[in-house]
Amino acid sequence: MELLYVYASDYFEGRRTGSKGQKIAVDFLRDHYMDLNIQAAEGTNNYFQEMNLKVDGKMVSTENVAAIIKGSEFPDEYIVLTSHLDHIGIEGGQINNGADDDGSGTVTMLEIAEALQIGLENGYKPKRSIVFLHVTGEEEGLLGSAYYSENPLYPLEQTIVNLNIDMIGRNDSLHDNDEDYLYLIGSDILSQDLHDISISINKKYSNLDLDFRYNDPQLKVYERGRHYANRYYYRSDHYNFARNDIPVIFYFSGTHEDYHLPTDTVEKINYPLLTKRARFIFHTLWELANREDRIRLNSDRKYLNIDKNGR
């Protein structure tokens, strides 16, 4: 809550890619990893993976933020955690704070990093390497994660999974009477192991109602007055990993009436629920990092030949 009240404050001006507010955001993220003593990812300029992106027809300079905890036994196998650091900025004089989108995923990653670092200091070393990748340009079309997938800091063949967290702090209208849920999207598409591990870890530690309905990208959802194929599998940064044959999970709690509006603010976040979901993701990550065998890819993989727009 403390982190989010800062990250989604007006001072960050809605974190539009390339804006002053986005620069404040990346400094904030870098300072967090420096304070925790978690090292910058190799190949970054002091945690920043710099790039130029086109936003509204003009080029802006922007950056992903990347840090790493090295694995003790399989340091060359990487688990990449992602959430997007940017949002849609100021529109019509109003700041879009993006508390849920994606302040919720961002602070979840920061808390997971802190928990892992406390563990490390107490002798709990993850066997595999864990990369914390805060990506820019998501709202402009998944651009920061696309840049990473074309300029990876660690080899994609050695990246065993991407866990992407984008909007997990609220509940949607389908779950008015059942708050303790979380959508897992993509979990069984490339690796049945990943799906099965999610279920068993949830049973052991979290007891959330895991909702897998959007593993079918064709399933219709009601948005902006019409029914659309949900296509969530293609709609956030995990897709740039999935299209490179890396198993992914997109953690998501659904859209709501404040989606992409100035009213997506911090006091509307359900903090106990956000905490529960964050803990579940932490436990899943810990299992993936420490199990003896790397998760396997399915021999028959769905949706590989669908284009960027999900058609």
- Using CB under 5 A as the criterion, which residues of the chain lie in contact with Zn ion when the complex forms? 101-102, 166
DSSP state of 41: P
Smaller CB separation from Zn ion, 126 or 137: 137
In the complex, least distance from residue 233 CB atom to Zn ion, rounded to whole angstroms:
14
Smaller CB separation from Zn ion, 166 or 172: 166
Smaller CB separation from Zn ion, 105 or 247: 105
In the complex, least distance from residue 108 CB atom to Zn ion, rounded to whole angstroms:
13
Smaller CB separation from Zn ion, 77 or 264: 264
Smaller CB separation from Zn ion, 128 or 238: 238
Q: Assess contact for 55 and 17: CB atoms under 8 A.
A: yes
Taking the CB of residue 267, how many other CB atoms lie within 10 A of it? 8
In the complex, least distance from residue 28 CB atom to Zn ion, rounded to whole angstroms:
18
Angle, vertex CA 262, rays to CA 145 and CA 57, nearest 5: 45
Taking the CB of residue 288, how many other CB atoms lie within 10 A of it? 26
Tell me the CA distances in angstroms from 213 to 132, 174, 231, one per residue in order. 27, 12, 11
In the complex, least distance from residue 121 CB atom to Zn ion, rounded to whole angstroms:
32
In the complex, least distance from residue 100 CB atom to Zn ion, rounded to whole angstroms:
8
C-alpha dihedral, 99 to 185 to 143 to 263, nearest 10°: -20
Angle, vertex CA 207, rays to CA 161 and CA 299, nearest 5: 30
Q: Assess contact for 228 and 220: CB atoms under 8 A.
A: yes
Smaller CB separation from Zn ion, 100 or 111: 100
Angle, vertex CA 33, rays to CA 27 and CA 35, nearest 5: 95
In the complex, least distance from residue 101 CB atom to Zn ion, rounded to whole angstroms:
4
Spell out the residues 6+ positions from residue 288 whose beta carbon is closer than 8 angstroms to its own: 79, 128, 160, 161, 163, 194, 197, 295
